[in-house]
A and B are shown apart, each in its own frame.
Chain A
Amino acid sequence: QKEVEQDPGPLSVPEGAIVSLNCTYSNSAFQYFMWYRQYSRKGPELLMYTYSSGNKEDGRFTAQVDKSSKYISLFIRDSQPSDSATYLCAMGLDTGGFKTIFGAGTRLFVKA
């Protein structure tokens, strides 16, 4: 079993839709949960992070962690064509740490 599972997509939605991106994981020791966004021909950039369980909101983005189910989600409200990118989940044991494990990334297309 992979440590982190993420559906690679692609996921195609119309502009304005609510997008849900998800990852499951197997290591219950993970404490930090991150979402990176990667545009074409660019490196990933940190979008959001949460510590332990719960929700975190930043504008149109909401990150959710359910440690009991080992399941994390990223919701994008009122999706825009500029949100078209690959979204990678990542999780680790400590901040800025060595043991960060990434998902394969979900390719998202938002159609105008």
Chain B
Amino acid sequence: ETGVTQTPRHLVMGMTNKKSLKCEQHLGHNAMYWYKQSAKKPLELMFVYSLEERVENNSVPSRFSPECPNSSHLFLHLHTLQPEDSALYLCASSQRGGGVGYTFGSGTRLTVV
């Protein structure tokens, strides 16, 4: 399988639940990202990992917790979310030092009830 794969595609969770989003890239890229996409708003960068080290955390609430066990996998752990956290969560990868732009996954549509 090629590209960036995200699972699950859809997730409905209660405010007291704990869940995780998974992302896997098969492109050999050295950087991975989590973005939040809400209607009519620009993509919001949440976290950046380069060579498995978190290099950016964009003032994201602690109820979101990223994990990057290796250069091909990225997780976003979710707990005690709020309804305003409902959005499309996109994973992306890129090659720093070569290539332009990101390759995105298809996203996880998250609904918090």
Give residues in A with beta carbon < 8 Å to B. 2, 4, 6, 8, 32, 34, 36, 41-46, 49, 88, 90, 95-98, 100-105
Shortest Cβ distance from A35 into B: residue: B101
- A46–B90 CB distance below 8 A: no
- The answer to whether residues A96 and B97 also contact, given A43-B4, A43-B107 and a CB cut-off of 8 A, is yes
Contact mask for chain B residues 6-35; partner A; CB cutoff 8 A; 1 contact, 0 none: 100000000000000000000001010000
Query: In whole angstroms, how far apart are the Cα atoms of A102 and B102 in the complex?
Result: 12
Shortest CB–CB separation between residue A4 and chain B, in angstroms?
7
Residues of chain B with a CB closer than 8 A to A42's CB: 106-107
- A96–B101 CB distance below 8 A: yes
Shortest Cβ distance from A100 into B: residue: B102
Supply 17 A–B pairs (Cβ within 8 Å), ascending by A: A8-B40, A36-B101, A36-B104, A43-B6, A43-B107, A45-B104, A90-B101, A95-B96, A95-B99, A96-B31, A96-B97, A97-B94, A97-B96, A101-B42, A102-B42, A103-B42, A104-B40
Q: Residue B60 at the A interface, CB < 8 A? A: no
Q: Residue B111 at the A interface, CB < 8 A? A: no
Residues of B88-103 whose CB lies within 8 A of A = 90, 92, 94-103
- A102–B101 CB distance below 8 A: no
- B43–A34 CB distance below 8 A: no
Query: In whole angstroms, how far apart are the Cα atoms of A43 and B97 in the complex?
Result: 23
Residue in contact with A49 in the complex, picked from B50, B92, B100, CB distance below 8 Å = B100
Shortest CB–CB separation between residue B112 and chain A, in angstroms?
19
Residues of chain B with a CB closer than 8 A to A6's CB: 42
- A98–B31 CB distance below 8 A: yes
Shortest CB–CB separation between residue B66 and chain A, in angstroms?
14
- B41–A104 CB distance below 8 A: yes
